[in-house]
Structure 1
Amino acid sequence: MTDEDVLSEFRASGALLEGHFKLSSGRHSAHYLQCARVLMNAERAGRIARAICQKIPRDLRGEIDVVVSPAMGGIIIGHEMGRTLEKDAIFLERPTGSFELRRGFAIDEGAKVLLVEDVVTTGLSSREAMQAVADAGGEVIAMASVVDRSGGDHGFEVPFFPLIEITFPTYAEDELPEQLAAVPITKPGSRAA
């Protein structure tokens, strides 16, 4: 799947939005990729998961014991990655602000984990999820996502396999361009920022 193929999937599902968005990272952007919309079609979600899986080297895929994703955004693509890899897929939640396993989910001590996200912007949520996996006894051996908007500044210490890298500019609250500041803010993400 080429970058243009991926963007076509986003456009076809109405998932490439323009406006003024406050991202889960707390940064602002004139563009938002609503992965929930692109993943709402199971066949499309499966295609995207298979395309991500093809980016992960075969030997590394063979080491994965379980797929873990953070709620909310990572659940669908994490589940589809589990299906593609024929591994269980579980998710982390933030009931009190910090990621934790719930619903009877557990990670075997020493289990090799593929952490899967929908969109990575700063990498903060992913790094917090990696810590939660380590606290639960697992070892994140690789990270994957549908979209990488980090510009390479994610801070991961494991191999990272995004399906597409997009560098829409993002801005801190105090550095908003006038044109963006004039547009009403939409907060589409799942986390309070």
Structure 2
Amino acid sequence: MSKEQNKPLDYKYIEQLMKESGALLEGHFLLSSGLHSPYYLQCALFLRFPKNAEIAGKLLAEKIVKLGKPDFVVSPALGGLIIGHEVARALDVPFLFCEREGGIMKMRRFTPPSGGKYVVVEDVITTGKSTLETIEAVNAKTSADLLGVACIVDRSSGKLQSLPSPISLWQVDFPVYSPEDCPLCKDSSLPLVKPGSRS
């Protein structure tokens, strides 16, 4: 098999790695939104393996450079830190991050370049809220232009109104149900589980 044939380019490869790492779970889950779903994705379990982070970082970097090479990469803490750093390493540019202070996303530790272009990198984009807050935090400190937004998994279903379409390795739209309409609740063999970190 040639190197090109062996190169992981399609989303099925990322899905496979997600499952192998335990990041993609199937069952009956209570989401932080209060909705129920047969799937739960916890990207941190995928990124705990450095090789996965390296692979995803290189693949995203290859997609990003088609827009042009950014002068720096920015991610929101905490979820975007590992993949943002890997993308920056693959692009050989500086990596900066934003973090919440008093509930507000800020760039506390860095002074970004006054010009050039940047890209925001996350692990998963769903509503785009933290991505937008990151962009606002960067724009408050620099005149650099946003080149694009990138993530490992795009769960936005094309509903992001204030952001450019994300560059991603996997676009997925898991089914979700209200508790009263959840078909999984009717199956007594599937107990409701609440994973994740937010109450």
Q: TM-score, normalised by structure 2?
A: 0.82
Structure 2 partner of 1:178: 182
Which of 92, 97, 100 is matched with 2:103 structurally? 97
In the alignment, structure 1 residue 169 sits paired with structure 2 residue 175: yes
Change (3 A) 1:44 1:72: same
Shift of 1:184: 3.8
SS in 1 for 2:132: helix
Structure 1 partner of 2:68: 61
Q: What are the Cα deviations for residues 65-102 of structure 1, in whole angstroms up to 9, with x where unaligned?
A: 11000111111000000101001111111131111112
Which of 3, 7, 10 is matched with 2:18 structurally? 10
Provide the rounded CA distance (Å) in 2 between the counterparts of 1:17 and 1:95.
Answer: 32
Which of 11, 20, 25 is matched with 2:29 structurally? 20
Shift of 1:43: 1.5
SS in 1 for 2:112: coil
- List aligned pairs for 1:67-82, cutoff 5 A: 67-82=73-88
SS in 2 for 1:12: helix
Structure 2 partner of 1:149: 155
Structure 2 partner of 1:116: 121
Change (3 A) 1:165 1:111: same
Is contact 1:52–1:162 with CA below 8 Å preserved after alignment?
yes
Q: Which amino acid aligns with 1:106?
A: T
Change (3 A) 1:105 1:27: farther
Provide the rounded CA distance (Å) in 2 between the counterparts of 1:120 and 1:42.
Answer: 21
**Structure showing greater relative contact order (alpha-carbon pairs closer than 8 Å, 6 or more residues apart):** 1
Shift of 1:57: 4.2
SS in 2 for 1:45: helix
Structure 1 partner of 2:6: none
Is contact 2:47–2:83 with CA below 8 Å preserved after alignment?
yes
In structure 1, runs of 5+ residues without a counterpart are: none
Change (3 A) 1:98 1:185: farther
Structure 1 partner of 2:3: none
In the alignment, structure 1 residue 39 sits paired with structure 2 residue 43: no
Greater Rg by CA: 2
In structure 2, runs of 5+ residues without a counterpart are: 1-8
What percentage of aligned pairs have identical amino acids?
34
Q: What are the Cα deviations for residues 105-131 of structure 1, in whole angstroms up to 9, with x where unaligned?
A: 121223411100111111122112111
Provide the rounded CA distance (Å) in 1 between the counterparts of 2:34 and 2:171.
Answer: 18
Q: Which amino acid aligns with 1:17?
A: L
Provide the rounded CA distance (Å) in 2 between the counterparts of 1:27 and 1:163.
Answer: 27
Q: TM-score, normalised by structure 1?
A: 0.84
